[in-house]
Amino acid sequence: MIRTSKFIFRAACAAVSVLTAVVGYYYAALPVNLNTDGDTVFCSGGFSAAVLRPTDGGCAYYLGAVPIKEAEITQTERPQLIPCGTPFGIKVRSDGVMVVSVNNSSPAAESGIKQGDVITSVNGVDVTTNDEISEAVQLSDGSAEVILTRGESELCLSVPTETSGDGTLKIGAWVRDSAAGIGTMTWYDPSTGYFGGLGHAVSDVTTGQCVPLAGGEITDAIISGVVRGKKGEAGELCGSFVSGGKTGTLTANTEVGVFGTLESPVSGEAIPMAFRQEVECGKATILATTDENEPREYEIEIERINLLDMTGSKSMVIKITDPELIEETGGIVRGMSGSPIIQNGRLIGAVTHVLINDPTRGYAVFAESMMEELSQQ
């Protein structure tokens, strides 16, 4: 009898510990501030086991009958966006010159310059291109005065120079001043003329860091072929820029996408954007272009809402279920980033990353996160 009582007591303690841990997890992860246009459907789909229920003072999260925390609801106008799914060429000019590598034992390395630093000035001269930094170094008298940014910090370093084989001065760092590639446009806002695309930042190919934007443009692009993805190897949409000049201007390069304005408006029917709490695990579709033809709609499954990345580029885990798309591409491939995701007649987000070990699965960003980021630019 005593043993049975101890077992029951221990089981009860374990259950309370598990419940406390789960409630603590949801308390930390669930967003406090939510937007609505006054017609929000409160459902559990977007928050896994946590249910968002209306209360007398607003709304609150519940885990079964256990209250977790209150949420603050803001009344706002629901954006009406045209989903795109079209490929576009991206050309980014960096704000400063990014250090992509530093030679060992070079003056740059010994002075503390690191990969990923962004050099903005040399010897009092602002630099934004490789040629400008090279010319500014030639003004050195034994050392170059270098101003750079590292994260949120700005550093000023005195870097000795050395003479290369052709007689020019150098500091021993390799730099890059621009980036280019092909992505997918997610949406166009006919009320403002702005577009959003890619779903993640344009990053330096070597450092993986977001390229600080000094300027940029977009062009039309055409998809000419597909390298299918397979386990352990990411596939890719093969394409090229279409001649004829720029079709838009980039104004922001952020962790949840690129944004800018277009030379001409996009035609198509605008649909309502979904707020985060309206996104559900389950069936959805994406718009993607995999050849020279127009975007097509493909079936996917939203498997999980990532509660710890509600405002980032990995807010949802998705799975490609459409047999036709799997046959064409193997799943998610490079170049599909930005493909809009539609559920229940609403634009809910965009494809962002592929899982290398399973190309049918990947991540997505909320459309609301993209719109919020644009509003802060």
CA of 313: how far to CAs of 198, 351, 366, in Å?
10, 9, 8
Report d(CA 59, CA 52) in Å as an integer.
7
CA of 230: how far to CAs of 160, 236, 298, 334, 360, in Å?
48, 11, 19, 12, 9
Contacts of 101 by beta carbon, 8 Å cutoff, 6+ apart? 115, 173, 174, 206
Neighbours of 89 (CB within 10 A): 20
Residues labelled catalytic: 200, 322, 337
Helix (H, G, I), strand (E, B) or coil at 235: coil
Report d(CA 367, CA 352) in Å as an integer.
12
List the structure tokens of 279. Answer: 């996104």
Report d(CA 37, CA 126) in Å as an integer.
46
Which residue has 């990353």 as its token pair? 353
Report d(CA 21, CA 278) in Å as an integer.
26
Alpha carbon 302 to its chain's center: 18
Do 272 and 252 meet the contact criterion of CB atoms below 8 Å apart? Answer: no
pLDDT per position in the chain (377 positions), as tens?
Answer: 566 666 676 766 776 676 676 666 666 667 777 888 875 545 444 555 566 676 766 677 777 777 888 878 788 899 999 999 999 999 998 888 999 999 888 899 999 999 999 999 999 999 988 999 999 999 988 899 999 999 889 999 999 998 888 888 899 999 988 888 999 999 999 999 999 999 999 988 888 888 888 889 999 999 999 999 999 988 999 988 888 778 999 999 999 999 999 999 999 999 999 998 889 899 999 999 999 888 999 999 999 988 777 788 999 999 999 999 999 999 999 999 999 999 999 999 999 999 999 999 999 999 999 999 999 98
Question: What domains can you pick out in the chain, each with its CATH number?
Answer: 2-75 (no CATH), 80-91+178-375 (2.40.10.120), 104-171 (2.30.42.10)
Report d(CA 136, CA 150) in Å as an integer.
20
Contacts of 64 by beta carbon, 8 Å cutoff, 6+ apart? none
CA of 43: how far to CAs of 49, 60, 225, in Å?
10, 12, 41
pLDDT value for 187: 98
pLDDT value for 50: 65
Identity of residue 197: G
Q: HSE-up of 92 (CA within 13 Å, CB side)? A: 30
Where is 317: in which H helix or E strand?
A: strand 316-320
Where is 215: in which H helix or E strand?
A: strand 213-227
pLDDT value for 41: 46
pLDDT value for 208: 83
